[in-house]
Amino acid sequence: MGPIDCGSEVTLKARYRSLLPQFHGFLGMRSSIEIRTVEEGLRPCGYSLIGDLSLAEFLMNLEKKNLEYSIVLRAKMNHGFLHGYKPPIPGEENLTGVAFGRRKDEVLALKEAFLAHDHIASGELLGYPNCCTRYFASKATLDYTREYLTFEVQPFLTFSFFKFFGAGFILHFPCSPFCENSIALAKHYSELIPREIVEFFREQTPVRILVDKTGVLYLETPYIQGGATISPGEEQEVRIELV
Amino acid sequence: MILLAIDYGCQLNCDYCYARGNSLSVQPDLERLRDVLKSCTDEAVFFHGLEPLVASLSLLRSLRDLVKGLGKQIGIQSNGLGLEDPEVFEFVLSLDAIGISWDGFLPGGRLRHKTEEGSKRVLEIIRKLAREKEIGVIMVLNQFTCPQNLKDSLEALLEAGIKSIRLNPVHWPYPMMDNERLIALYEIAFPYTKEATIHPLALSAAKDCSFSGCSPLGTRIFEVMLDGTLVNCRKGEPTLWQGRSKFRVEYLQNLPVEEGGCGGCEFWDLCHGGCPATSDKLYGKSHYCQTWRWLWGQLTAAQK
């Protein structure tokens, strides 16, 4: 399954077309980690936003793995700014938020916590580190994606900007790129990803990121380039080395 | 429409050619190419370049037969120089659609056919082709285009019997043309639309790729390399094709006109922000917004 994030696009530069299989694996990292970590009992629940065209396949996959699921929300498919969910449009491709897990009661608890905007309870059910959940809950109204731009050297295991394109080792917003709990979790989860995809991820350095004042984030590495919408703010450009 | 990138070079080295420096030369893999073309729903394939007629005739014939064998139409966009060879001329006539790129009687130096003599040679080829078949001609407009040269060139094409002409503003190298200058040139060309279809001076231009709502990383028109790899239109970075993204379209629609977007623009349905390669920003609207607004205004008023 491809990336589930909306409002973003990324491509492999043509001169690296021999890396196409790794690139596809890179785009599917988060989806793959999201399901496998629940399936293998590394955390209670997972949550994915799925477009209508992939929904049937996604739910069938959960059933095949004997996982319980519950639909949390339906929203308009959004290729632009995704600030809050807009009501679904009949007849068009929409998005479905799906909570899933091994136990029905935990899935329903996640749904309830999610709809109540209870970040602490949601974070616990999703297996996120406590420090990061508390950080997120205290800063949920701020755009702290931009805070990460102040770190010009970051561990590749917690690098968060590829999440817009479906790639990454962790599923949560770490409280810092250097958060030890997040690095340990990412190391653990990276073992679920084929070695060549982990290497492909590691080789994306330096990463050039430009965010314009309208909130378009433009990201370029030696191998890929992509764009995503985040929130509007000041214009920023930074070069990040992954270590 | 799919462009088939036949990248064996070009006799010319025009500094505004968007394919120049983005060469995608590969070893042909006709089996894979056939599979890829078969899986595409597009009904027309165009030999494209750099300059397709630089390739060997045997390869071109194999490619033509491959495309025809799939029940698709096959056309070509060429600079015309190779057509002085009678065998090549005959081959080109066997194709379903022919487009020649010609800069008209324009001053040399930085331009496509380099010299007046080169321009006349290609005009002669255009006349010869037009006697046999209906063809289209693309001319580029740039900062060197003079009003009188444009008039002379259009009249020469009409005299040759050409009924389909494109006047494309170049977008490379920067800086792009001033909008005032481009509008002035289109105004000169308008009276000739009585005798031929001149794009973009017709409402049907809204179907052109420039106005199809492309995103720079997921273009509407894509190219297939001879080994079957799909890549995006080379007006941007030649990234691997990843589908027909709505990303830029929704971004521009969400951003009001006064903030640099297209939200609320009365011509949105015709224009979709223009070609992203003519924008200063990755997801911005075209640098030629002023020209397109003028153009759509003229065309919709004339229609009423």
CA–CA min distance B260, chain A (Å): 9
Mean pLDDT over each residue of chain B, to the nearest integer? 88
Considering only A21-25, A34-38, A231-235, which range has the smallest mean pLDDT?
A231-235
Predicted confidence band of residue A49 (pLDDT cuts 50, 70, 90): confident
Task: Provide CB contacts within 8 A for A220, sequence distance 6+.
Answer: A207, A208, A226
* Selection from B257, B263, B264, B259 nearest residue B290 by Cα: B257
Predicted confidence band of residue A91 (pLDDT cuts 50, 70, 90): confident
CA–CA min distance A87, chain B (Å): 16
CB contact under 8 A, B254 and A14: no
Tell me which amino acid residue B138 is. I
- Residue B148 burial (CB count, 10 A): 9
CA angle (B94, B98, B101) in 5-degree steps: 140
Note the pLDDT of residue B132. 96
Q: What is the pLDDT of residues B82-141, one digit of tens each?
A: 999 999 999 999 999 999 998 887 654 445 555 677 788 899 999 999 999 999 999 988
Q: What is the pTM of this model?
A: 0.82
Distances (CA, A) of A120 to A103, A127, A133, A181, B169: 19, 11, 6, 16, 56
Q: Which of B217, B250, B251 sits opposite A11 (nearest CB)?
A: B217
Q: Which of B249, B254, B283 sits opposite A227 (nearest CB)?
A: B283
Tell me which amino acid residue A224 is. I
Q: Which residues of A touch B239 (CB under 8 A)?
A: 11-14, 225
Q: Which residues of B touch A226 (CB under 8 A)?
A: 217
Considering only A13-17, A108-112, B192-196, B267-271, which range has the smallest mean pLDDT?
A13-17
Note the pLDDT of residue B174. 58
Considering only A89-93, B176-180, B190-194, which range has the smallest mean pLDDT?
A89-93
Task: Provide CB contacts within 8 A for B301, sequence distance 6+.
Answer: none
Q: Which of A17, A216, A218 sits opposite B229 (nearest CB)?
A: A17
A–B interface: beta-carbon pairs under 8 A: 70
Considering only A2-11, A139-148, B274-283, which range has the smallest mean pLDDT?
A2-11
| Encoded tokens for A140 | 């949920």
Note the pLDDT of residue A3. 34
Helix axes A130-139, A180-190, angle to 10 degrees: 120
Note the pLDDT of residue B105. 77
Q: What is the pLDDT of residues B39-61, one digit of tens each?
A: 888 899 999 988 999 999 999 99
Residue B6 near residue B55, CB atoms below 8 Å: yes
Read off the DSSP letter of residue B170.
P
Q: B23, B217, B226, B237: which to substitute to probe chain A, counting the most A Cβ within 10 Å?
A: B217
Please tell me if residue A13 touches chain B, with a CB cutoff of 8 Å. yes
Read off the DSSP letter of residue A215.
S
Q: What residues are paired with A51 via a beta bridge?
A: A95
Q: Which of B217, B232, B251 sits opposite A216 (nearest CB)?
A: B251
Predicted confidence band of residue A4 (pLDDT cuts 50, 70, 90): very low
Q: What is the pLDDT of residues B64-92, one digit of tens each?
A: 999 999 999 999 999 999 999 999 999 99
CB contact under 8 A, A214 and B260: yes
Residue in A with minimal Cα distance to B248: A80
CB contact under 8 A, B283 and A216: yes
The mean per-residue pLDDT over the stretch B153-157 comes to 96
